[in-house]
Amino acid sequence: MGVSAVARPEVAPPGPWSFPDAGTTALPGGPTLLTYDLPGQYVVSIRVGLPIPPAVEPPEIEGVATIMARTLDEGTAHHSAEQFARLLERKGVSFGAGIGDSGLTMGLEVVKGNLEPALDLLRQILTEPVFPEAEVARQMRTRLAEIDQERAVAANRGLLELVHAFYAGSDRASRPVGGTRETVSAITREAVAAFHAEQVVASGATLVVAGDLAGLDVPVLVGGALGGWDTGSARRPAVPPRPAALAEDRCRIVVVDRPGSVQTEILVAAPGPDRSVEGGWAPYPVLGFAIGGSPNARIDAVLREEKGYTYGIRSGFRPHRSGGLFLTTGSVRADATVESLRLLVDLLASGGRGLTEPEVRSGVDFIGKTAPGRFATADDVADEAITMALDGRTTQFTTDNLRDLATVERARAEAAFARFAREAGVDPDRPGAGWTIVLVGDAAEHVAGIEALGLGSVTVVRDR
């Protein structure tokens, strides 16, 4: 009996993918509503974004925005904290809120059939929080405990020291978003309520609703629930975005002393671009991927695979509304600290000596072809939409950037690295130039060797 030959099917490359289309509605009072109809996504994701950067906090009570965000659902004008928690549970609503560099974000997840009551709960959170004294005090204690923990964990301690060394001391970016022990301790219930009244207004807010919206008139539902939210004279003054001020002496090395550490945490940073960068944003994620954004990138190929110094170190460009940074973080064996730092700085600057076609193609393919998976669920779509909104953009940027990404080739990626290096002061022929370097480890064991590398001045910080 003969065997029939079956021709192997040809696998064609995937076609271009677009971010889901948004419906846009201007709501009374100033908010913008974005809707994403995603058939089959029966858990609806709701996001609220308000442009309240940490810089608007009164300096003496920095961290008040964090405490406010954490107590928004801890009791309203008509419900105690316990009653409101039961309401959320009864309607199957999860809620969370937090402050980041770009502002305040709130997130709710709810089954489609309970969207209307979920929006009413959101109205209460936005317009009727009472910030009970006991709940504010509890969240302050939690934040103070976090501050102690942040100083105890090497990776977090390194980030605290990095922003302190990288940004000018006068700039809010040089201090923790959640505030310091001194400023958090000074927060009062009255200060939290006043900050909410001043900042959580409808003007300039963005609401996102993503999920299976068939049969729902979302603009009517949202307008009915939030129509009374600050439709009066309250308007948040427009604050033009500006890059954070950098420290004049940022190009240096700081060692946070941890006697006896068996690992050393290493952080390396330089100023980076935002999404409005000349020449387009698309090459920069590719650069980050090629240098240190994956297990196959240059850094891990040497420090992990060849040398065995680390489990993994990651690099990437982190854009802000204005400006950004190129950040590298990871830990290495303590006995390999000095050699790891020498190799790491050289690898970070190696983009200035050229990239390979396979490196660029690998980054383009990974970032572009995984996009449908990264944005496969309603919560992913809503998160991207609110991120773009707080960056002053729409998700059309996401689609356009993916289209542009497909055109990135080696010459363009190399030009983008050259632009970054020029503006950051990074020079492959001058090791250490342009970088702010923080290490958390045993200073007595490593400082002499670090100084001998000639990467810059070395300062030792000893925690009390």
Q: Are 222 and 262 contained in the same domain?
A: no
Give the rounded distance of the alpha carbon of 176 from its chain centre: 14
Q: Are residues 376 and 261 in the same domain?
A: yes
| Confidence (pTM) | 0.93
Looking at the 3D structure of the chain, how many domains does it have?
Answer: 2
| Distance separating alpha carbons of residues 323 and 115, to the nearest angstrom | 38
pLDDT tens profile 76-89:
999 999 999 999 99
The residue segments making up the domain with residue 441 are 253-461
CB 463 within 8 A of CB 154: no
Phi, psi of 402, rounded to the nearest 5 degrees: -65, -40
Q: Would residue 309 count as lying in a domain?
A: yes
Sheet holding 324-333, edge to edge: 313-319, 324-333, 263-272, 436-441, 253-257, 458-461
Same domain, 176 and 269: no
- Among 226, 241, 268, residue at a domain's last position: 226
208 lies in the same domain as 270: no
Residues 205 and 307 in one domain: no
Q: Is residue 248 part of a domain?
A: no
φ/ψ of 345, rounded to 5, equals -60, -40
Query: Is residue 4 a part of any domain in this protein?
Result: no
284 domain-assigned = yes
pLDDT at 354 over 70: yes
For residue 71, give the H/E element and its range: helix 64-71
Tell me how far apart the alpha carbons of residues 300 and 143 are, in angstroms, rounded to a whole number: 35
Residues 205 and 257 occupy one common structural domain = no
Task: Give residue-wise pLDDT tens across range 1-58.
Answer: 556 678 888 888 788 899 999 999 999 888 999 999 999 999 999 999 999 999 999 9
3-state secondary structure (DSSP) of residue 197 = helix
The SS3 call for residue 27 is coil
What whole-number distance in Å separates Cα of residue 369 and Cα of residue 365? 6
Q: What would the pLDDT profile of 385-433 be if each residue is shown by its tens digit?
A: 999 999 999 999 999 999 999 999 999 999 999 999 999 999 988 889 9
Looking up residue 173, the CATH number of its domain turns out to be 3.30.830.10
pLDDT 10s digits, 235-264 = 666 667 889 999 999 999 999 999 999 999
Exposed, middle or buried, 135 (CB in 10 Å: 0-12/13-18/19+)?
Answer: buried
Residue 54 falls inside a structural domain: yes
pLDDT tens digits for range 289-319: 999 999 989 999 999 999 999 999 999 999 9
> Mean pLDDT, the chain, as a whole number?
94
